[in-house]
Chain A
């Protein structure tokens, strides 16, 4: 008699594996470039520098991603311990601490890749490109690596106005000009460093590839609104790396991989196939950065019928077509193609009457309770997991406010789980699972509340 094997809780997308493999190739490419004497940059994820660096022939690797790779392979802890021994406070970003320890180890072995480095490692940088976008750690951390490397650090500015200020068209235009000038200064710095001129045609190519990848990611995410949710967040995170931290990978390869993924997800939608191999009892959103060291925790939740159909981090932007015919300057074209105003974002995401209501709220109160919640209602989420990170202020500071807003406005409850992106010791999976079990009653309750209020899910 044959024994039936219960399928794994997650129903992984086949198209995911090829894209995930591209991440390995990104790191391999960095090592190869270094061995060939080509420049390699350590870069923070932001929307601007990668395409510029690639257009100038610089290979790019991403320490924040590399730290998550170390965590996923259980290799981050020794690097973090080394960071503390070097004097970096233990509350600092887990990504940063792992890379500080990694950098210290590089110095130990004469600037080479430490033999214990997972994934082939990152070669010694020619330069570091820090960022003012998203969090302060992203420039403070790279500056602090100066102890280990003689590579210059460029911090790329990125404006982030308050909500009311973002509504102003003057603010928007000033920020566009700021970005253009800042990126031109960055190019001048690179030209001086590399002894070569910027290839502006190549920037059109590398930048254009990024736009196409973003468009496909957006289209795939739109499909994820279906019931049952056809793609689990673990697949999203697995391929996100190839799309965003793609280094000098050929954009065409990444585009092709995403096209295949789009086709596979479309087929799942048509056939009603879910991203989990269990009945979809709860549609979930994951807010914050993932626990890279313990992603299997989500498989355990999938066993209970929790399908994470959407997430807050690394989401693609809505594709847009911008009339650039009046702009000749390639950098201005590059900036205007990507940088959008709050007014434009509102017009794209909300119905006209909602737009006016939100704008009036912002002008009157300085903010709107509806901002930041749209994915919860669009994906008809039953519950939200808020991952409060011990070492990340940028993603954690606002989570409790978000929890209040989601409940107040959408009647969707949240489960707060404390942990960390890199430090596995900060995360108690067993306790989180116990809380999750109890949380199901809360989700059931609010389902009834939403029904009584006539809400669509």
Chain B
């Protein structure tokens, strides 16, 4: 580790700004560092083999110049940015990449990455789309393949004991993130939405045990500090596709609102359910990654064998956790945001709006192209929304 180690929020900001600093040190010490895209490539299985998971992000501030020659512009600008950065050599330190069927573009990106960057190791998890019983069995089979692939890379066996220990340490991280989010229930919240992104991005850039230590420091510091966010007129819940940069949160929080809760993937989404410890650890992992994580990439219905359709009941099953979030964090309104060309989130927008309307929670939908320039017009829309709900 670096000789002078900063702590808590300062360390989070440092890692947010220079994400690869720590894993490059670890790699120099002989550890393997595995890139992964999105939240589905089962991190516990890497940790069990002492491989450091390192999440691949884009860079909203870096113009896309290289990715155009591999992927047309009419595709997810976040994933294009990830590819662009990869093509510019900024992920060359990785020992490989693990991807999954997060969406059509995510799967295609996997193929392009492998073709263009020729990583030393690659594995793709072809996740099912539904919560059918057959899909759960299929997911477990896919994790068995993944286990073999990682064992081949590391030259070690992934024992059940090691995997169970890894699940426990990742569950500890989930619990710590939830503890951090408890501090956002206060008015004003003790930590802002922008700072939350910095912390989450930081822990997704270092080994899980170091991340847990960082979270403890952050929680302790935030509880004690007097310079936290100011109290604002509105408390907002943000739902949507990836936000891996503080710029959007800063734009919203620069207005008369606190972002007190989110349902995004650099936020609460990967952390709000624990993995159950099962006799065969792969059972618990398969269930968690297919069923527990509530991302728009998965098809959910009330009861898939039920031949009777009830739209509002269906919406309640799919989205009532948003009501729970709004109630517990006392949110006055919801910002639905999506990066342009994100089809999976885009199709959920009308249904979520119907659901939020049905429970009397106001909402606004924002679409952006993952550039700083896109935020200015959105600011006006958020301002208008705050005036309505204020």
Contact = CB atoms under 8 A, between A and B. Distances in A.
Nearest to B346: A89
Contacts of B305: 185, 188-189, 192
A193 interface: yes
B8 to A, nearest CB: 39
A393 B75 contact: yes
Contacts of B301: 143, 153
Given A174-B138, A393-B75, A393-B76, A136 B297 contact: yes
A397 B109 contact: yes
Contact of B347 (A144, A188, A401): A144
A131 to B, nearest CB: 9
A127 B99 CA distance: 34
Contact of B132 (A168, A182, A366): A182
B111 A400 contact: no
B39 interface: no
B371 to A, nearest CB: 16
B309 A165 contact: no
Contacts of B104: 135-136, 393-394, 397
B130 interface: yes
A160 interface: yes
A193 B72 CA distance: 43
Interface in A319-338: none
Nearest to A140: B347
B343 to A, nearest CB: 6
Contacts of A188: 305
Interface in A133-178: 135-137, 139-141, 143-144, 146-147, 149-155, 157, 159-165, 168, 170-171, 174, 178
B264 interface: no
Given A171-B145, A366-B114, A398-B112, A393 B309 contact: no
A132 interface: yes
A91 B101 CA distance: 21
Nearest to B312: A146
A181 interface: yes
Interface string B80-117: 00000000000000000001010111011111101110
Given A87-B365, A140-B343, A178-B137, A147 B354 contact: yes
Contacts of A144: 347-348, 350-351
**Residue picked from A168, A185, A389, most chain B C-beta under 10 Å:** A185
Contact of B346 (A88, A365, A400): A88
B4 interface: no
Given A92-B347, A182-B134, A136 B103 contact: yes
B284 to A, nearest CB: 20
A89 B338 contact: yes
Interface size class, chain A: 35 or more
Given A153-B301, A390-B74, A393-B104, A89 B367 contact: yes
19 contacts: A91-B74, A91-B343, A130-B299, A140-B348, A143-B347, A143-B351, A144-B351, A146-B351, A153-B301, A154-B304, A159-B138, A160-B101, A178-B134, A178-B138, A188-B305, A391-B74, A393-B108, A396-B72, A400-B71
A388 interface: yes
Given A157-B132, A396-B75, A149 B348 contact: no
Interface string A86-97: 111101110010
**Residue picked from A93, A136, A369, most chain B C-beta under 10 Å:** A136
A399 interface: yes
A404 interface: yes
B233 interface: no
Interface in A365-420: 365-367, 369, 388-391, 393-394, 396-401, 404, 416, 418
A155 B299 contact: yes
B20 interface: no
Contacts of B74: 91, 388-391, 393, 396, 418
A189 B307 contact: yes
A140 B296 contact: yes
A192 B114 contact: no
A184 B260 CA distance: 45
A397 B72 contact: yes
Contacts of B367: 89, 91
A92 B129 contact: no
B72 A388 contact: yes
Given A88-B346, A393-B104, A401-B71, A163 B307 contact: no
A195 B110 CA distance: 44
Top 6 closest pairs, chain A to chain B, by CB: A162-B124, A140-B347, A397-B108, A132-B129, A366-B114, A193-B307
Contact of B135 (A87, A157, A393): A157
A157 B128 contact: yes
Given A137-B347, A144-B351, A393-B341, A401 B72 contact: no
B103 A132 contact: no
B69 interface: yes
A135 B101 CA distance: 11
A400 B349 contact: no
Contacts of A365: 114-115, 118
B346 A401 contact: no
Given A140-B344, A157-B135, A163-B111, A399 B72 contact: yes
Contacts of B310: 150
B228 interface: no
Contact of A155 (B101, B110, B129, B138): B129
B165 to A, nearest CB: 27
A161 B365 contact: no
A154 B129 CA distance: 12
B126 interface: yes
Contacts of A192: 305, 307
B123 interface: yes
B361 to A, nearest CB: 16
Contacts of B108: 393, 397-398
Contacts of B343: 91-93, 135-137, 140, 393
A161 B130 CA distance: 16
Contacts of B126: 159-162, 165
A154 B304 CA distance: 7
Contacts of A393: 74-76, 103-105, 108, 341, 343
Contacts of A137: 343, 347
A139 B299 contact: yes
B314 interface: yes
Contacts of A149: 309
